[in-house]
Amino acid sequence: MIFLFTDFGGTDIYAGQVRAVLAGAAPGVAVIDLTHDAPALNVKASAHLLAALALRLPAGAVTLAVVDPGVGSAREAVAVEADGRWYVGPDNGLLSVVAARAARRECWRITWRPRQLSASFHGRDLFAPVAADIARGEFPAAKAAQLARLAVDFGAGDLAEIIHIDHYGNALTGLRAADLPRTTRIVAAGRWIGHARVFSDVAHGELFWYEDSLVVVVISGNACFACARVGLAVGHPVGIGT
C-alpha cells in the first residue's frame, strides 16, 4: 500500500493528480492519505513530522513524501528503505530523519526520468511512478543507483521547534517526550510551560505540555485554540528548561 505525505493541502488540485497516476500505474494498490498538511515548504519540520508518523506505518508500507520547494533545481530524487518501510521523495532532507532513526537503512538515487517531466511537479511525474513500482513489489533496480548517504541529512536528533499546529489548536514539537522527566518545563512564545496529564489538571486557558500519541511533546491549553492565542506557529523555537 502507498501512503501520501505531502504539503499539497487537503483541498487543492495536486493530491488528486498524484492519485490519478498511482491508479494507472499500480491498479488495485491501496492509496492512503497519511496527510497533505505537512508544514508547507518547510522541509526540516516536515522531516520530523514524517518521522513521528512513520512509527505507525505498517511493515512494507511505501510512502510518497513530497515537500519540495527546490523542485526543478538540481536536487536529486531518492528512495529510502528504513526498517522494512519504503520512502520516495526529494533528496532535500525530507527523508533523512526517518532514515537516521532506523536501525537499518539503504538509500538509492533515482536515475530514471519519465518521458514528460514537468519542472514543477516531480511528485506526480517522477516520485509517483517509482512508488508504484515499489508497491507492486518490483524494486526498480534499473531506475536507481545505490547511494552512500543522503545529500541533506538532518540527523536522528530532536528538533526544538513547532512542527505542526493541529485542527484543535494544539502545537506539536519536534521534541520526543519518552525520555523527558515530567518535571521538565518547556519554553515557547516567551512562556514557561509545565507538564500536565490531562486538561482538567490546569486552570482555564493555561498552557501545558503532554506526551502525544506520536510520542512528541505537544503544547496545549485547557481552552480550545490556546496555542493560536499566544501566537505559536510552525517553525517557532521551543526550549527545554528544568
Paired with 63 in beta bridges are 3, 87
In 3D space, the residue among 63, 69, 73 whose CA is nearest the CA of residue 95 turns out to be 63
Shortest Cβ distance from residue 129 to its own copies (Å)?
13
Q: Which lies closer to its own copies via its Cβ, residue 80 or residue 163?
A: 163
Cα separation, 16 vs 66, in Å, equals 14
Q: Which lies closer to its own copies via its Cβ, residue 74 or residue 142?
A: 74
Shortest Cβ distance from residue 47 to its own copies (Å)?
14
Q: Which lies closer to its own copies via its Cβ, residue 11 or residue 242?
A: 11
Contacts of 117 (CB under 8 A, 6+ apart): 125, 126
Q: Which lies closer to its own copies via its Cβ, residue 57 or residue 78?
A: 57
Interface with its own copies (CB under 8 A): 1, 3, 7-17, 19-21, 23-24, 27, 30-37, 40-41, 49, 53, 56-58, 61, 72-73, 118-121, 124-125, 164, 166-168, 197-198, 200, 210-213, 224
Helix (H) or strand (E) holding 176: strand 171-176
Shortest Cβ distance from residue 134 to its own copies (Å)?
16
Cα separation, 169 vs 177, in Å, equals 19
Shortest Cβ distance from residue 16 to its own copies (Å)?
4
Cα separation, 24 vs 242, in Å, equals 54
